[in-house]
Amino acid sequence: MATLQETIEVDVPVSTAYNQWTQFESFPEFMKGVESVEQVDETSLHFRTDIAGVRREYNAQITDQLPDRRIAWVSTDKPRNAGTVTFEPLGPDQSRVTVSLEWEPEGLVEKAGSAVHADSRQITADLKRFKEFIESRGIETGAWRSAVAQGEVESTDEEAGFAANAPKHPAPGASPSAPPHTPTPSPQRPAGVDPFIDDAEPSDPS
């Protein structure tokens, strides 16, 4: 099992850096080798990757998520991998992002790449692209502020206050008759729009 850890400092608030990492389907924007990520439901992901000519598909589960602090995941099939991304505020407009990853190289190409630290260089390059991506935008493409503990979704304090006054929407993949769920901000919400203001709510004319 290979173990890697890389860190980068980005010139955006910690909430902006964290919010962008919750938008998993945007990973191909800055992660070379990740062809696509499908958000199956709130904690389940499907990855398609092409790294050094080795194409793979696998599922992963978000096991732990705490807004502005960390996101942790584990694959549920091969290739085996698990990791954590942590977020640390360095000031009002600067934060530190640290990626810790464990993975099991398979086949000659992956094992050879790991032996010469190609995997470490890949993560470093991906973090640099993330830095360029978020700093050039200055704002996240979307946000999801629920917490996850041991794979189960929990509402945060900020969502609890919002949910008391906001209309309910079904969880991803739920039928219209399913129990209501705390609304989740849309990844497609335009930049500059508060992700916790529902479009259906009338604006205050004053």
What is the tens place of the pLDDT at every residue in 89-125?
999 999 999 999 886 755 544 444 444 334 568 889 9
pLDDT at 203: 47
Question: Which among 62, 91, 202, 67 is positioned nearest to 140, based on CA atoms?
Answer: 67
Establish if 16 belongs to a structural domain.
yes
Establish if 147 belongs to a structural domain.
no
Of residues 38 and 1, more confidence is placed in 38
Q: How far apart are CA 87 and CA 180, in angstroms?
A: 31
14-21 and 118-137 helices, crossing angle to 10°: 120
- How many residues does the structure list for the chain? 206
For residues 49-62, give the mean pLDDT. 84
Establish if 183 belongs to a structural domain.
no
What is the tens place of the pLDDT at every residue in 159-185?
544 444 444 334 444 444 434 333 344
For residues 133-158, give the mean pLDDT. 90
Cβ-contact 119, 112 below 8 angstroms? no
- Residue 54 sits in a domain whose CATH number is 3.30.530.20
Establish if 151 belongs to a structural domain.
no
Q: How far apart are CA 171 and CA 42, in angstroms?
A: 8
Cβ-contact 18, 67 below 8 angstroms? yes
Establish if 130 belongs to a structural domain.
yes
Give the DSSP H or E segment for 156: none
The rounded mean pLDDT for the chain is 76
pLDDT at 123: 87
Question: Which among 60, 124, 59, 83 is positioned nearest to 1, based on CA atoms?
Answer: 83
Establish if 22 belongs to a structural domain.
yes
Establish if 142 belongs to a structural domain.
no
The number of domains in the chain is 1
> Which positions ≥6 away from 53 have C-beta within 8 Å?
109
| 205 C-beta neighbours (distance < 10 Å), count | 4
Cβ-contact 61, 50 below 8 angstroms? no
| 24 C-beta neighbours (distance < 10 Å), count | 19
Domain with 133 in it: 2-137
Least confident of 31-35, 114-118, 147-151, 200-204: 114-118
pLDDT at 80: 80
Answer whether residue 18 shows pLDDT above 60: yes
Q: β-strands 147-149, 81-91: how paired?
A: unpaired
DSSP code, position 29: G
